[in-house]
Amino acid sequence: MMDFRTIFPLVLLPSCLFAAVNLNVSLGDSIKPVTHVATGSLYGLTETLPSNIEKDVAPLKPNVFLSPARSGSGRQQGIGGAFLVAPRVESLGAKIQIRLADVLPGWPYKFQNMDHWKNEVKSVIQDKLASNNKNFDGYEIWNEPNDTWKSNIDFNSGLWKQTYDLIRQMDPGAKIIGPSYSFYHASKMEEFVKYCSQNNCMPDVVSWHQWGSGGFVGSVETYRNLEKKYNVSPRPLSINEYSSTEHSEEGCPGVSVPFIAKFERHGVESAMISWWFVPLPGRLGSLLTSNNERGGGWWLYKWYGDMSGYMAKVTPPNDKSDGVDGFAALDKKKGFASIVLGGNTKGEISVNISGIPEAFGNKVNVDVEYVVWENKDKAVPSTTPVSSKEYDVNGGKITVPVNITNTKYGYHINITPIIPQAPYKDVAAAIPGKIEVENYDVGGSGKAYLDKDDDNKGGEYREDAVDIVKAGEGYAIGYTQEGEWLEYTVDVAAAGDYNLSVSYATSSENTGIKLYVDDKVVKDDIVFPQGADWETYTTFEAGKVNLSAGKHVLKLEIVGNYVNIDWLNFADPADTATTRLVDMQPLHLNADERGYDVFGMDGQFVCHIEGVQAQGGIKAALAAKGVNPGVYMVRDIASRRSVKVNTVR
């Protein structure tokens, strides 16, 4: 956290101000899966801040936060200890890197002796092993030893080696992170790597702090050469503090873009925005203002958090500068590409985009927006749209001009295919008839379906984000969550009331579906009885649905969580006639070979009757089952035909 410009001057020249430059994006070249490597911060969480984790933290898809091992009286930090903040973000998938040095007070740290230090470290490790939380990233042994290690004990052979061995003994599977120099200190890093390679104590993840993005790539190259020189296998990197050389620009969108771009490009595993403003922990590295409002930087990291699929190759004009740069992601399943750009360059940028998937078609929609930034404490309520245009795709390529008017701003390009919603395999589902739910319309996410996760968790049938599972010899939708939906183009033969039945499986309570036609509710919440599991499918009689003739869009929305749906059947009222049957062999079928499901007129399942049980007639069979006299729907399982049976008469 030191300002090392007092040690040596660093001159970063802006790149070609106002000159037209090219930023090349190759969507066809995957460099790695999306992991949001740079969405962390140093002391960005406390026990109480940010106050609304779901609102202000979850949308950023946080990766790793760096937190003090202990906080409170006698510690380096008063609040925000690792074991206090880990529970707040575990459900988000965010991890906590434990800064061991912060068990000590003062700056530089007031180190007493090795025995005291080891006892403190043992206590932290024991708490970590006993914790119910499992979202700990690893142990950072020390912080900025080039400035804060003031003991006459040698850092490498004393503090580092002995602590390393202690962690390996007590928590052998844990990740060890270091040396966390306050900047890339070339001579000290070589001493460190040489010693560790010769004494079996090389960290699992190599870390240092980075001030200004322009020198980062050169530092990576220098470090990788050390690995080769001392026969060290390549290590992932943690840049566990990063910011502009101007600390007041912490979290600034235009400053952050080149950092994130280079981190994604050059093997960084985690990166945390710095913390220069001591009275203000819990602000996500100044993405939130001092009043805990969203600043301009928050929106930039929201664009980053919205990325899914894989990170695509981006080639800037100069990777070893803080000039214009960008990072990009392509999600083929969700059907979008996202590109974020910015940096110390003003003027028009030609963003040359190649590798647009064939599935996107020959036309795409391109939305361009930007986010402003004045200072870290200036709230920014939203991003600002620039344009929304259709582009013709030629050979998988388009060029999008972006005018950077302010080097502190961030810019965003979002590309989506222009694919009209249409029936699956170009055939509308016929009503009356059965609709297999996996045959939802084409058109992509937000048009034909909404699924809350990125992948087809069942891995069956179709290649998009809808979760499809095997169901008998066919398929069903599974892993469903409240509010997800699917749409179907249907062709209704004639207006009327149709009897709806649904094949479902669930072990959850209070789950079901809701149906819309042309965005109007036609069947409010249908809640299914809880079943045994998600493999045993049951037919539920859901009552009548009134439909008008012609083509419509039917929408199936999930109510509750975790119900599998196999099919919907809309039966012609004429086929499920209200024939008055008092006591006869159902449907005049051979009872020895048939089974029947019995439902109340409210659609609730009553019982199952085997064919042999029905030989004496339905009335007798129901009486034998202890079913009260009344009117019931009896369905022949084999033919799926139903009749209404009055057992009172």
**Residue 125 pLDDT more than 50?**
yes
DSSP string computed for 313-381: EEE-S-TTSSSSEEEEEEETTTTEEEEEEESS--EEEEEEEE---GGG-SEEEEEEEEE--S-TT-B--
Higher pLDDT, 202 or 587: 202
Higher pLDDT, 401 or 621: 401
Helix (H) or strand (E) holding 525: strand 520-527
For the record, the structure tokens of 45 come out as: 């969480």
**Residue 594 pLDDT more than 70?**
no
DSSP string computed for 258-270: HHHHHHHHTTEEE
**Residue 14 pLDDT more than 90?**
no
DSSP string computed for 526-576: EEPPP-S-SS--EEEEEEEEEE-SEEEEEEEEEESS--EEEEEEEE-TTTS
The predicted structure's pLDDT at residue 588: 39
- Cβ(410)–Cβ(303) under 8 Å? yes
The predicted structure's pLDDT at residue 529: 93
Classified as helix, coil or strand, 587 is helix
* Cα–Cα distance, 586 to 645 (Å, whole number): 9
The predicted structure's pLDDT at residue 519: 95
How confident is the prediction for the chain on average, in pLDDT? 91
The alpha carbons of the chain give a radius of gyration, in whole angstroms, of: 31
Residue 465: how many CB atoms within 10 A of its CB? 22
Residue 381: how many CB atoms within 10 A of its CB? 7
* Cα–Cα distance, 539 to 536 (Å, whole number): 10
- Cβ(643)–Cβ(634) under 8 Å? yes
Of 356-360, 453-457, 643-647, the range with the lowest mean pLDDT is 643-647
* Cα–Cα distance, 296 to 284 (Å, whole number): 12
pLDDT tens digit string along 45-99?
A: 999 999 999 999 999 999 999 999 999 999 999 999 999 999 999 999 999 999 9
pLDDT tens digit string along 285-320?
A: 999 999 999 999 999 999 999 999 999 999 999 999
* Cα–Cα distance, 528 to 513 (Å, whole number): 8
Length in residues, the chain: 649
Residue 610: how many CB atoms within 10 A of its CB? 13
Of 351-360, 440-449, 486-495, the range with the lowest mean pLDDT is 440-449
* Cα–Cα distance, 289 to 70 (Å, whole number): 25
> For the whole model, what pTM was predicted?
0.75
The predicted structure's pLDDT at residue 470: 95
